[in-house]
């Protein structure tokens, strides 16, 4: 044996360890547990906020690429021209420069060999055709999947199930821009792929052929000037420049409910978990531990005519669509009229402010204020804490956020210290202490005399709730 | 809570799921990490356990309950994170161990692991379990004594004796490969 026994023990995997897994688990000091839990959840939330920021950055890059423009002002202008696609209703847009196309479905679904295939989120924008294909079936994994990556949601279809788009005499094999795979015990597996295809003039009829299936999906794209209004899908309410619109249709499965949030601002709407943790702040401070599941439904819920909250039928009867969601609820036509409630939404600004702060020996008052459109940040105190390494110290900034008068109220801001030892020690602090102060910390070298503090992407909530009444279901297709 | 239920909560609400998994298994991971990082400050142990659950948050979709369990997955993850940190702190080397714990390693390593497993299993019950609880899971002697209804010094004696037997088998025993 080359290795020492303990080194080999280090290499043991689950299969060796399975013989010795203890049934009786140890206890640990509660204070230590609390510290570990707090630290871990903070890191997870921080990662999520970074992912959010990446998504925003990706949207900006995408818009720059589409419009062929660069620089801050054009990017802002591009955001202002964001259009909104409402499946089943068309396009709602104030954009006069881009040409949009809505889809008229010819065949949007079929079932073959026990697999349901569905076409969704189809529309065109300038020379780009966008579509999603969703497959749903019991033997999906055995039947059509080539490979699923370990530790990754990425999956690949077998070659014989390639997707090919036919239009105007052209045949184009599609490569998915995104894919998602849902599978769980006792659930029918579901796989979806998103495609984008460059077409000179999208106003055509298209056929989607998926190898392995005889049936074909088909749709026609027609130019859309944005005349279809969001009210047409059911009910709609506009407040503070944000439109919330919703509709519902009754099927054999239950009530298919859809809602959309239409805003020219960057709204932290799509990440419900992140938004959930922030949005409740105006309603009072809470610890994550204190949030019961029912609280979730206070942010957005659907009630029937008796005032009872309806619950989604199952997690997987839920589609993320452009600007919103489609969710299947338990219920029938007897439940109408339905009331849809959407709590105040969160917006994210693009401002960035930088300032220098001397590193104190132990503690120093700061009294610096930074003005943002919807609130003032006051830095009150800088403190130095020792760490277990002599060469590193922790600098803590204590600050407050005072929202301004108006319908948009700031409650959080990202911070970053340029000199921080670990890059990525940027943080959006969303939970104030009980005295109303926020605390931001960064590890810096013991040699650092001055830090450069950046404050960016202020978060603000847009003070207004939305209540929509859906008098009757839409006509069932 | 059963593993299946935990995985379901994780998929529906990852943050809530992680909290539940931590409640159930934080102490298990803590003792595994502490056993490897005894010579370093407490903060390092706590940070290491936090690393374990952050990595679990990224990797839990790889857990196959047909082949393993959350307990087993976390135990291996905790041990590897602790070794990785120990190496960094001790300035031994900078290359981390294979972090993807589902990846397979070399044939030679597989062979060595099998030889050690056979050697430990040859100790019989409860000695085999006691030595692994002590050296892999980092359980305090007092806890092991409670579990097996033994005196603490009996546990210590069994550990010493078992360790000597394992080393003897590994060094020249029947499993020696030319």
Q: How do the domains of chain B map onto residue ranges? A: 3-90, 107-172
What would the mean pLDDT of A290-317 be, rounded to a whole number? 67
Query: Do B22 and A153 count as a contact with CB atoms less than 8 A apart?
Result: no
Residues of chain B numbered 56-75 and touching chain A (CB < 8 Å): 57-59, 61-62, 67-69, 71-73, 75
The pLDDT assigned to A381 comes to: 95
Q: pLDDT tier at A51 (50, 70, 90 boundaries)?
A: very low
- Are A230 and A112 contacting, i.e. CB atoms less than 8 angstroms apart? no
Asked if pLDDT for residue B46 goes beyond 90, the answer is yes
Q: Which residues of A touch B97 (CB under 8 A)?
A: 10
**Closest CA in chain A for residue B7:** A184
Asked if pLDDT for residue A36 goes beyond 70, the answer is yes
Backbone angles phi, psi at B88, to 5 degrees: -65, -45
Cβ of residue B49 closer than 8 Å to a chain A Cβ: yes
Which of A224, A243, A276 represents a domain boundary (last residue)?
A: A224
The pLDDT assigned to A383 comes to: 94
Q: Which residues of A touch B13 (CB under 8 A)?
A: 273
Read off the pLDDT of residues B76-96 as tens digits, 9 standing for 90 and up.
989 988 988 888 887 754 444
- Locate tokens 């925003």: which residue? A56
Sign of the dihedral through C-alpha A52, B70, B101, B132: positive
Which of A197, A224, A251 represents a domain boundary (last residue)?
A: A224
Asked if pLDDT for residue A297 goes beyond 90, the answer is no
What would the mean pLDDT of B24-31 be, rounded to a whole number? 95
Any idea what DSSP says for residue A406? Answer: S
Structural domain count, chain A: 2
Helix (H, G, I), strand (E, B) or coil at A129: strand
Separation of alpha carbons A281 and A301, rounded Å: 18
Read off the pLDDT of residues A406-423 as tens digits, 9 standing for 90 and up.
888 887 888 888 888 765
**Closest CA in chain A for residue B17:** A41
What would the mean pLDDT of A58-87 be, rounded to a whole number? 33
Q: Is residue A33 part of a domain?
A: no
Q: Is residue A359 part of a domain?
A: yes
What would the mean pLDDT of A225-253 be, rounded to a whole number? 79
The pLDDT assigned to B2 comes to: 82
Query: Do A1 and B102 count as a contact with CB atoms less than 8 A apart?
Result: no
- Are A99 and A126 contacting, i.e. CB atoms less than 8 angstroms apart? yes
Per the structure, the complete domain to which residue A404 belongs is given by 352-462
DSSP for chain B, please give it: --HHHHHHHHHH-HHHHHHHHHHHHHHHHHHHHHHH-TTS-HHHHHHHHHHHHHHHHHHGGG--TTT--HHHHHHHHHHHHHHHHHHHHHTS-SPPP---TTS---HHHHHHHHHHHHHHHTT-TTHHHHHHHHHTS---HHHHHHHHT--HHHHHHHHHHHHHHHHHHHHHSTT---
Q: pLDDT tier at A59 (50, 70, 90 boundaries)?
A: very low
Which of A207, A224, A241 represents a domain boundary (last residue)?
A: A224
Asked if pLDDT for residue B176 goes beyond 50, the answer is no
- Locate tokens 């020696």: which residue? B176
Strands A392-403 and A178-182: unpaired
**Closest CA in chain B for residue A13:** B76
Separation of alpha carbons A134 and B46, rounded Å: 43
Asked if pLDDT for residue B48 goes beyond 90, the answer is yes
What is the token pair recorded at B76?
Answer: 């291996």
Higher pLDDT, B134 or A277: B134
In this predicted structure, which of A155-164, A392-401, B70-79 has the lowest mean pLDDT?
A155-164
Sign of the dihedral through C-alpha B167, B173, B175, B178: positive
The highest-confidence range among A33-42, A112-121, A125-134, A213-222, by mean pLDDT, is A213-222
On average, the pLDDT of chain A sits at 74
Q: Which residues of B touch A22 (CB under 8 A)?
A: 28, 129, 133, 137, 139, 147
The pLDDT assigned to A56 comes to: 34
**B3-90 is classed CATH 3.90.1260.10:** no
The pLDDT assigned to A288 comes to: 34
Cβ of residue B153 closer than 8 Å to a chain A Cβ: no
Cβ of residue A138 closer than 8 Å to a chain B Cβ: no
Q: Which residues of A touch B120 (CB under 8 A)?
A: 20
Q: Which residues of B touch A21 (CB under 8 A)?
A: 69, 71-72, 75
Cβ of residue A352 closer than 8 Å to a chain B Cβ: no
The pLDDT assigned to A450 comes to: 95
Distance to chain A for B16, nearest Cα, Å? 9
The pLDDT assigned to A205 comes to: 95
Asked if pLDDT for residue A152 goes beyond 80, the answer is no
What is the token pair recorded at A315?
Answer: 């997690």
Cβ of residue A149 closer than 8 Å to a chain B Cβ: no
Query: Do B46 and A3 count as a contact with CB atoms less than 8 A apart?
Result: no
The pLDDT assigned to A10 comes to: 86
Nearest CB among B12, B19, B170 relative to A1 is that of B170
Nearest CB among A20, A152, A288 relative to B128 is that of A20
The pLDDT assigned to A215 comes to: 92
The pLDDT assigned to B26 comes to: 95
Distance to chain B for A277, nearest Cα, Å? 10
* pTM of the full structure: 0.46
Q: Is residue A374 part of a domain?
A: yes
Cβ of residue A1 closer than 8 Å to a chain B Cβ: yes
Separation of alpha carbons A297 and A313, rounded Å: 14
The pLDDT assigned to A202 comes to: 92
Same topology, domains B3-90 and B107-172? Answer is: no
What is the token pair recorded at A188?
Answer: 């029918």
What would the mean pLDDT of A142-163 be, rounded to a whole number? 57
CATH number of the domain within which A216 lies? 2.60.40
Which residues lie below 8 Å from residue A348, measured CB to CB, with a gap of 6+? Answer: A56, A265, A266, A267, A268, A457, A458, A459, A460
Q: Which residues of A touch B10 (CB under 8 A)?
A: none
- Locate tokens 């610096």: which residue? A368
Which residues lie below 8 Å from residue B67, measured CB to CB, with a gap of 6+? Answer: A14, A15
Asked if pLDDT for residue B120 goes beyond 80, the answer is yes
Nearest CB among A14, A16, A273 relative to B117 is that of A16
Q: Is residue A68 part of a domain?
A: no
Higher pLDDT, B76 or A292: B76
Q: pLDDT tier at A88 (50, 70, 90 boundaries)?
A: low
Peptide bond connecting A337 to the previous residue in cis, omega within 30 degrees of 0: yes
**Closest CA in chain A for residue B100:** A151
Read off the pLDDT of residues A338-383 as tens digits, 9 standing for 90 and up.
999 887 777 778 889 999 999 999 999 998 999 999 999 999 999 9
Q: Could you give the ipTM of this predicted complex?
A: 0.87
The pLDDT assigned to A456 comes to: 87
**B107-172 is classed CATH 2.40.37.10:** no
């Amino acid at each position: 044996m080359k290795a020492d026994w303990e080194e080999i023990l280090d290499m043991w995997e689950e299969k060796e360890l399975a013989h010795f897994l203890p049934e009786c688990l140890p206890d640990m000091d509660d204070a230590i547990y609390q510290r570990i839990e707090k630290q871990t959840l903070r890191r997870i939330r921080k990662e999520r906020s970074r992912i959010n920021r990446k998504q925003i950055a990706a949207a900006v890059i995408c818009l720059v690429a589409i419009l062929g423009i660069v620089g801050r002002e054009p990017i802002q202008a591009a955001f202002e021209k964001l259009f909104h696609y409402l499946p089943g209703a068309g396009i709602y847009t104030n954009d006069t420069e881009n040409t949009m196309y809505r889809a008229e479905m010819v065949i949007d679904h079929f079932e073959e060999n026990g697999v349901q295939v569905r076409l969704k989120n189809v529309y065109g924008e300038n020379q780009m055709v966008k579509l999603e294909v969703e497959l749903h079936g019991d033997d999906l994994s055995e039947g059509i999947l080539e490979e699923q990556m370990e530790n990754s949601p990425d999956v690949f279809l077998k070659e014989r199930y390639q997707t090919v788009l036919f239009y105007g005499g052209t045949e184009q094999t599609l490569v998915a821009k995104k894919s998602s795979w849902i599978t769980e015990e006792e659930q029918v597996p579901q796989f979806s792929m998103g495609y984008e295809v460059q077409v000179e003039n999208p106003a055509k009829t298209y056929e989607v052929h998926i190898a392995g299936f005889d049936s074909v999906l088909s749709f026609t794209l027609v130019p859309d000037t944005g005349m279809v209004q969001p009210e047409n899908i059911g009910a709609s309410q506009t407040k503070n420049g944000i439109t919330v619109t919703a509709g519902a249709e009754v099927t054999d499965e239950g009530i298919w409910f859809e809602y959309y949030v239409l805003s020219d601002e960057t709204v932290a709407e799509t990440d419900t978990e992140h938004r959930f943790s922030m949005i409740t702040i105006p309603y009072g401070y809470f610890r994550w531990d204190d949030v019961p599941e029912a609280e979730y439904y206070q942010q957005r819920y659907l009630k029937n005519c008796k005032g009872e909250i309806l619950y989604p039928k199952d997690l997987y009867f839920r589609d993320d669509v452009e600007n919103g969601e489609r969710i299947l609820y338990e219920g029938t036509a007897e439940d109408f009229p339905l009331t849809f409630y959407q709590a105040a939404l969160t917006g994210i600004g693009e401002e960035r402010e930088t300032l220098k702060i001397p590193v104190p020996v132990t503690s120093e008052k700061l009294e610096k204020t930074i003005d943002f459109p919807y609130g003032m940040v006051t830095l009150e105190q800088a403190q130095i804490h020792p760490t277990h390494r002599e060469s590193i110290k922790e600098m803590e900034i204590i600050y407050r956020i005072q929202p301004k008068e108006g319908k948009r109220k700031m409650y959080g801001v990202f911070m970053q210290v340029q000199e921080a030892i670990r890059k990525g020690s940027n943080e959006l602090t969303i939970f104030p202490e009980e005295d109303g102060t926020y605390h931001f910390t960064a590890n810096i070298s013991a040699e650092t005399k001055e830090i450069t503090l950046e404050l960016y992407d202020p978060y603000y909530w847009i003070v207004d709730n939305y209540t929509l009444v859906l008098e009757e279901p839409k006509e069932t297709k | 809570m059963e593993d299946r239920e935990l995985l379901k909560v994780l998929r529906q609400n990852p943050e809530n799921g992680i909290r539940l998994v931590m409640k159930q298994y934080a102490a298990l991971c803590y003792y595994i990490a502490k056993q490897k990082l005894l010579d370093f400050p407490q903060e390092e142990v706590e940070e290491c356990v936090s690393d374990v659950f952050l990595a679990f948050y990224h990797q839990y979709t790889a857990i196959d309950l047909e082949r393993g369990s959350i307990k087993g997955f976390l135990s291996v993850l905790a041990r590897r994170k602790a070794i990785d940190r120990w190496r960094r702190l001790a300035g031994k080397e900078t290359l981390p161990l294979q972090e993807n714990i589902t990846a397979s390693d070399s044939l030679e390593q597989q062979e060595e692991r099998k030889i050690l497993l056979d050697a430990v299993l040859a100790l019989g019950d409860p000695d085999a379990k006691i030595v692994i609880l002590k050296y892999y899971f980092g359980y305090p002697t007092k806890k092991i004594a409670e579990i097996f209804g033994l005196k603490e010094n009996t546990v210590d004696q069994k550990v010493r004796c078992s360790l000597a037997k394992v080393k003897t088998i590994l060094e020249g025993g029947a499993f020696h490969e030319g």
